[in-house]
Every structure is written in structure tokens, then in C-alpha cells.
A and B are shown apart, each in its own frame.
Chain A
Amino acid sequence: MSEVIPNQDNPSRDNRDAKSVLAAANLPLPVRDLIDKLIRKTRLWKREKAEVALELIAHFADGLEAGQSADELVAHFGDLKTTARLIRRGKKRNRPLWWRAQRRLLQLFTAIVLVYIGLAALLVMRHPNPTIDYIAEFNRPMLSTPVADRAWPIYRAAWTKAHIWDNGAVLWPDKERGMVRPGEPGWPAAAVFLREQAPLLASLREAVAKPSLGWELKAGWEAIPAEDRAAMQGPSTTPNPLSAGQSADDPLLSRALVSVMLPFLNPMRHSANLLAADMWLAASEHESDRLLADYRAMVGLANHAGQCPLLVNQFVRLGIIALADQTIMALNVSDPTLLASHRVDLLHAMTSAEQLFRLDISGEKAFYMDMIQRVYSDDGHGDGTLTLDGLRFWEQMSDTHRIRPINTPETALRILILPAATTLTASRKDLTEQLNRFYVAAQEDAARPMWMKGKTPSKVDALVNSWKPASLRPDYYLLLSILAPSLNRASTTFGQARAVHEASMVALSLEAYHDKAGQYPTDLSELVPHYLPTAPLDYSTGTPLRYKLVNGKPLLYGLGKDGIDDGGVWADKKNHWPNVPATGDWVVYPPPDPDAN
């Protein structure tokens, strides 16, 4: 047999493709077709195809040279598809390392994507199933109170009549300086206004005598009866900004604590300011009965504001009672004889107010538990995973309670991030366990004496620090860790307000002692037990409160954070009273002059 193919160069050197190599081969048509089909089926690189083509051309040429016919060779070749697949597999195994590594990575990535999609599909099928109605639990004590013992109808009528939403700007002629006081330029106009408010103030004094505020918590502004809304917002048809986009139909938000509106807090704060201003007016008019009644009304108002156990309510409660105490202090400083006839009654009223300084964090825990049951699925055994509905709920929580309409792109995005979010956040069981530990620690911190708080790390901080490895993943405990600073701050604020409250009582006791003895005592222990049950403490150090007479007037102070007795000098320019100063002494009575500070 004659030569069937010409001598060929190595295709890897001349970069020829399989087609040209095959075209140059002098092979019978059936054989050439077979090789052509096979090469095409291999789907190899151009160079690889040329190599295989050359090898097969040589092979068939050898077969023909050995005397086999083209038809025999084609018939005995075997299955074209299988051969192409095996050749492809063999050749690919000879490819460079970088290509094989890249292929493995691609396979790995594809596998991860498939697992991720599978996980997303699994998670999308899970839904939250809230079983505890915390709003109903919060409302239970109020609803069990007889209607006659509820203050809300009185507040509502009084605020509606007084247009509380548009009332009292005259009390703040200069917002920078705070509420106007006797002797200041704006006071005459304020006094006229306050006298006009006598009916409102009388109603407030009547309302606070009721044991219960009588406000039923509801989710969403629209759920609040129109009459109640009008009492706080007026007859305006402008929707409340917080109500925009809300829907009572949303199954997760319709009974969520996060949707609860507390619109009565602002009118309460304003009512407290009116009462404080009226205390000044009563003092200027030497009406100490009214002054005492106003103080008692502020205590009652604070009590009503704090009946809902949420932290915001307790801060409003604290703000009201602190305002009452500071007003008493300022009045006592301005004219100690002013309160002479009612000092004992005032001391009794102040003693009854002590329970208002207890920080209750059970409402915050309920708030978080409610969030968990609306964000996670429920496996019936206390565990669950993040859900699609939960993610939407979570986003809305940080969006001033507005409901985002369900739209396809956002839902698709949430589905996409759901498995990642599930991996990066704690399970329901883990989060619940940490929440329980967190609140036990917070309760222990709240119960610690104030002077211990700066000396040793708080239990909450220690717990949050123990999460450090987990907290490398942001939001692992779904913002639980960011509650720690606010609770620590709340605990300190409550402690400071209590210290000022007690100092006010000591100051009143000193004046009562002076009324009786004609002079101040030489030591605070002389006030015990007739005026005070125990010797007062310096809340910044836990040691006895320092007392001395300056220009014949009492000065009460603690040692502050540095624990050094500076003789009762407020020296910290950065901290403002009543915060405990870093340097100098913590003067609690009389309050340091803010202009001098």
C-alpha cells in the first residue's frame, strides 16, 4: 500500500487545527468522516483536537497499511459518542494545573450555590408563629382595674379642653434657657397663662388620684379611638407621621409590641412642665397648699407614665419626678421659709415617690421576646430559624414602624440573603437563652448600689464581652449587645436621680430641723430617726453624705468618682449636674449654678 498521509508537523508547534490536519490526510472518506465526527464530539481545545486527530490519522493509516479495509476499520471502531467522551476525559486530565484548579473551584462554587439555593428554599417555607400576645399581657392589669379607677377619661377631657397639643409656648420664651421662672422677663405673661390653666391643673390633680392610667395599649395609630387621638393631636386631619403606611392587616405587625403607640407621653411631659411652672407660681403667691398639691400631682403623673413597663415609659416617669425634685430643690434654695408649713407633708410625698426610682426592665425583655417570636420560626421546642417574614419585620423595626409594601425585588433580595442571615445570626434557642442571661445580668446590675457601678465591670458588659467571638459576626445576637450601653446608662441615670431625690429630702429635713431647733444640726446623724429613717449616703462612694454649712446655709455633697474630699467644690467642667463628676465633689444640694458650671 502506498503512503497514505504526508509527513505532518507537530500541531502544537505550528498551531494547526484538526480540520486542516484532517484535510491534509489522504484517508478514505468514511475514515475521515469518522475522525471528523469524533473530534468534534470531544469538544476539546483546538490544540488537543489536532493532537488527537493526528494520532488517529496515523492509527488508521497504519491499519490500512496493514491490509484492513476502511469499512472494517470504521465498523470495529466502537461507539463514537462513548469514545469521544472517554478521550475528552483523558485529555482534560492532562490539562495544566491552573485549569484543573480553576475547574475544581468552579465546581465547588456551583455546589455551594446549589446548597445555598436549597437552603433558601427550605427557609422560605418556614414562617413565624407568634403565640404570646404581649400587648394583651401589658393591658391585663389595666383592664382588671374598675373603670372608675382609671384616669384616662379625665386626662382626655382635660387635654381636649386645654388644647394640649398647642399649649404653653409662653412658658419657653427662650428655649435655650429652659422654662421661665419668676423674676425673668417672660414670667408675667407665663403667670397669666398659668392662671388660665387652673381648670387643666385641677383636672390633672384629680386624674393622678386614680390608681390606674387606664390607657389600653394598641398597635398602630389608627387603632387608637378617634376621640383619644384628638385629645392628644387635636382635630387636625393631618395623619400622624408615625401612622403613614401602617396597616392593621399585617399579621406580624398588627399585634406587635413594636407597633404600640404611646402618644400620651408627650402630653404627660407637657402636663408635668405646667405643674412645675405652677409650683413656682404657687410659691410666688405664697400658696403652699397648691405647691404641695402640684408636687403630689407630678408624683402621680410620673406613676401613670411608668405603668407601661417599657423603658421609654420609665424614662418619662423618671424625667417627671426628677423635674418635681429639682423644682422643690430650687424653691427651697430660693426661699427656705416658703415650704415651712408643709415640710413634713412634702417629705411624706417624697418618701412615697421613692418606688418611682426603681428600674424595671421586664418590659424591655418582653419587647425582645415579642420580636423573637415574630422574626423566627417555631419548631415547637423553643428553637427556630430566621424567616422571610421575619426579615421584613426586622427591617421595618428600624424604619419608624412603617410597613413597606411587599414587592418582588425586595422579596427576592430577602430570599437571597436569608440563608446568609441565618448563618450569621444566632438560632432562636440560642438567642432566647442569651436574652434570659442578659436580663438576669441587667437585673443584678440594676440592683447594685450606684457607687459599685463604676468600680467593677457590669454583669451585662461581662456577658456581652463573652460574646466577642460571636460578635465578630455583626448582629449575631440581633442587636442584643447594643442594648447593653442603654441599660447601663438607664441604671446610672436612675441612680443619680434617686441620689438627688434623697438629697432633696435631706435638705428639707435640715430646714425642718432648723425650724424647730433654730439652727442647723452639726451632723446629719442628728436628723435620724425623727426626720430621716437612716443617715443619708453619698451615692458616688457609698460613704456617708458630706454636710457642712457655707455662709450659714447647708451644703450636701458626695466625693465624686475620684473619691477625694475637695470641700464641696464642683470642679468638673465637662460633666453637667446631676451627673457624677470625674473630678471635684458631687454637690447634690444646692444644685450648682449652671452658669458657673
Chain B
Amino acid sequence: MRIEKELMRGTGPMAVMQLLSAGEKYGYELVEALSKRSSGVLAMGQSTLYPMLYNLEAKGLIVSRVDDSGTRSRRYYRLTDKGTRRLARDSKQWKSLSEAMSGLGFGPAAAQEGGPV
């Protein structure tokens, strides 16, 4: 299942920052990780990912570096302190939102009880 664009607009950057919180990654790694770890739900192509990375970089939430030591030149991205703080804040808000939505009958528990998923 693919997420609607409007929903993705908020969750996409958070998902990317979450992945980068484990350590620096280059673009293709991020595409692969998003697809695999979200079972394809948060999969995004390069046409979405790279503009998003550039925007996060412009906001100072991530920084990039070029590594020419490998077989090909890669641009690696990692979270900044500001990005870390933003991720922590967004995660907290997401958790609250998720709990609130669960209370309304969304989520796994509700699905088991026959509510909306």
C-alpha cells in the first residue's frame, strides 16, 4: 500500500530522519531501507527522496559529505544536533497522535476488535 501524498509530506522527512538516526547513509541506501523496513508502505523513488534530502539539509536538520574513497563517489547524509532534537520532538508528537488515533478506533487493537484499520 502506498501512502497518499499529503500524509507522506509529513511522515516522509520523519522517516528519513529516523533512518539517519542510526548512522549516516547515502541515497540508494535510504530508498532501500524505507521500502524494506516499511514493507513498501513508505517506499519513495529518487524523484521524492533527493528533493526531500536537499530541503532537510537547507533547514540544517541533516548535513552531507562526499566520500570518494569507495568504488564510486557517494554523498552521505547524517543527522545534525538540530535534526536530532527535531526528530525527538516529532517522535513524541507522533506517539501522541498515534495513541489518539488508537483511542478513536484506529490501529491494530481496534482492527482485532473489528474497528476501522
Contacts and interface: CB of A to CB of B under 8 A. Distances in A.
Nearest to B26: A58
B99 to A, nearest CB: 33
Interface residues of B, number: 26
A52 B50 contact: yes
A28 to B, nearest CB: 16
Nearest to B31: A59
B98 interface: no
Contacts of B72: 3, 5-8, 57-58, 61
Contact of A54 (B52, B53, B57, B75): B75
A10 B73 contact: yes
B58 A93 contact: yes
B45 A77 contact: yes
Instruction: Please report whether the interface of chain B is mostly helix, strand, loop or mixed according to DSSP.
Output: helix
Contacts of A59: 27-28, 31, 46, 50
Contact of B46 (A10, A77, A89, A93): A77
A63 B66 CA distance: 19
Given A83-B47, A87-B54, A54 B73 contact: yes
B10 interface: no
B72 to A, nearest CB: 5
B70 A86 contact: no
A2 to B, nearest CB: 11
Contacts of A240: none
Contact of B27 (A3, A58, A79, A94): A58
A62 B28 contact: yes
A5 B26 CA distance: 16
Contacts of A552: none
Contact of A86 (B28, B47, B73): B47
**Size bracket of the A interface:** 20 to 34
Interface string A1-24: 001011111101000000000000
A53 B66 CA distance: 13
A63 B28 contact: yes
Contacts of A400: none
Contacts of A83: 46-47, 51
Interface string B12-39: 0000000000000011100110000000
Interface in B44-90: 45-48, 50-55, 57-59, 66, 68, 70-75
Given A7-B70, A77-B45, A77-B47, A94 B54 contact: yes
Nearest to B57: A94
Contact of B74 (A12, A58, A79): A58
A46 interface: no
A155 to B, nearest CB: 86
A231 to B, nearest CB: 85
Contacts of B32: 66
A7 B59 CA distance: 30
A93 B31 CA distance: 22
A55 B75 contact: yes
B94 to A, nearest CB: 24
Given A3-B71, A58-B72, A87 B27 contact: no
A52 B66 CA distance: 12
Nearest to B66: A10
Contact of A82 (B28, B47, B68, B70): B47
A93 B54 contact: yes
Nearest to B74: A58
Contacts of A79: 47
A245 interface: no
Contacts of A57: 72
A90 B27 contact: no
Nearest to B75: A55
A8 B68 contact: yes
Contacts of A93: 54-55, 58-59
A245 to B, nearest CB: 63
A76 B31 CA distance: 13
B51 A89 contact: yes
B49 to A, nearest CB: 9
A385 B116 CA distance: 64
B68 A7 contact: yes
B10 to A, nearest CB: 16
A78 interface: yes
A91 interface: yes
B97 to A, nearest CB: 26
A94 B47 contact: no
A56 B53 contact: no
A83 B27 CA distance: 15
Contacts of A8: 68, 72-73
A90 B71 contact: no
A66 B71 CA distance: 15
5 contacts: A7-B70, A54-B75, A59-B31, A78-B48, A91-B54
Given A78-B47, A89-B55, 14 more contacts: A7-B68, A9-B73, A55-B75, A56-B50, A58-B73, A76-B45, A83-B51, A86-B51, A87-B51, A87-B54, A90-B54, A90-B55, A90-B57, A94-B54
Interface of B: 26-28, 31-32, 45-48, 50-55, 57-59, 66, 68, 70-75
Interface of A: 3, 5-10, 12, 51-52, 54-59, 61-63, 66, 76-79, 82-83, 86-87, 89-91, 93-94
Closest 5 CB pairs of A and B: A90-B54, A93-B58, A78-B47, A86-B51, A62-B28
